[in-house]
Amino acid sequence: MSRADQRDESDCVCSVGMKLTWDINDPKLPQDLKQFDPFQEWTDGYVRYIYSADDKNAQRHLSGWAMRNTNNHNCQILKKSCLGVVVCSRGCTLTDGSRLQLRPAICDKARQKQQKKLCPNCNAALELLPCRGHSGYPVTNFWRVDGKAIFFQAKGVHDHPRPESKSETEARRSSVKRRVSSPPFTPKRRLIETQ
C-alpha cells in the first residue's frame, strides 16, 4: 500500500508537495524547502501539499469541505475527517437551478440542531449526506507543522457535492442575523436560522 501517490506523475503541473516523496507519518519530512504550494481550499483525492508556515489558511487548517477534528492520539499530526454535506431530502431545485448544499455544522450539538431544521426552500426535511470517500469512511485530512512548512495530506475522494464554503456560510449567517436582528422572544418563525 501507500503507492497510491504515483498515479499521475506524468502531467507534472503538480504541486510542490507531490513532486517530493513523503508521507505525513514519516519520521523525517523534507527539509530546507525553497518553494511552497498556494493554499488549496477544495482538495480532493489522495493529494499532498506543502504550505509556507506563514500561510494564514494553512495555519488555520482550513478546508472548503466541512472537516471536524479527529483524535488520532498524535499531538504532532492534526487529523480531520469530512462530515459530508446537508441537502434537501426532496432534492428540490432552487430558483437559480441549483440544489441546496449546506455546510454541516462542525459542532456535534449544533449539527443535531441543524438536522432538525427544514429546507429553507421547500420546507422538506434536511438530510445529512455522510462522506464515504475513503474506503467507506470519511475522507481524512492531515496537518503537520515542521520547520517553516506546513505539510498537508488528504486521503480519499469525496463522494458527495461540495457544501457551502466556510466564508459563504458565515456570510449567510450574518446576513440572516441582520434581517431578523436579535429577537428577544420569537415563538414563531424560527425555522430558518438563528436561535
Query: Which residue in 19, 61, 90, 172 binds DNA (CB under 7 A)?
Result: 61
Tell the smallest beta-carbon distance from residue 106 to DNA (Å): 4
Residues 6+ apart with CB under 8 A from 16: 33, 35, 36, 37, 49, 50
Residues 6+ apart with CB under 8 A from 31: 147
State how far the Cα of 87 lies from the Cα of 91, in Å rounded to an integer.
7
Query: Which residue in 60, 99, 148, 179 binds DNA (CB under 7 A)?
Result: 60
Query: Which residue in 113, 148, 179, 190 binds DNA (CB under 7 A)?
Result: 113
Region binding DNA by CB under 7 A among candidate stretches 47-55, 77-85, 87-95, 120-128: 77-85
**Paired sense of beta strands 67-70 and 85-88, if any:** unpaired
Residue 160 binds DNA, judged by CB under 7 A = no
Region binding DNA by CB under 7 A among candidate stretches 47-55, 72-80, 146-154, 181-189: 72-80
Report the first-to-last Cα separation within the chain, whole angstroms.
Answer: 48
Total Cβ atoms within 10 A of residue 97:
6
State how far the Cα of 191 lies from the Cα of 82, in Å rounded to an integer.
26
Tell the smallest beta-carbon distance from residue 27 to DNA (Å): 12
State how far the Cα of 20 lies from the Cα of 29, in Å rounded to an integer.
10
Residue 101 binds DNA, judged by CB under 7 A = no
The alpha carbon of residue 165 and the mean position of all alpha carbons in its chain are separated, in whole angstroms, by 8
Query: Which residue in 47, 81, 86, 149 binds DNA (CB under 7 A)?
Result: 81
Residue 140 binds DNA, judged by CB under 7 A = yes
Residue 40 binds DNA, judged by CB under 7 A = no
Collapsing DSSP to helix, strand or coil, 4 comes out as helix
Question: Contact 106/61 with Cβ under 8 angstroms?
Answer: no
Query: Which residue in 2, 71, 95, 181 binds DNA (CB under 7 A)?
Result: 71
Query: Which residue in 134, 144, 158, 160 binds DNA (CB under 7 A)?
Result: 134
Region binding DNA by CB under 7 A among candidate stretches 79-87, 94-102, 118-126, 182-190: 79-87
Query: Which residues in this chain contact DNA in the complex, by CB under 7 A?
Result: 60-62, 69-73, 75, 78-81, 105-111, 113, 134, 137-138, 140, 166, 169, 195
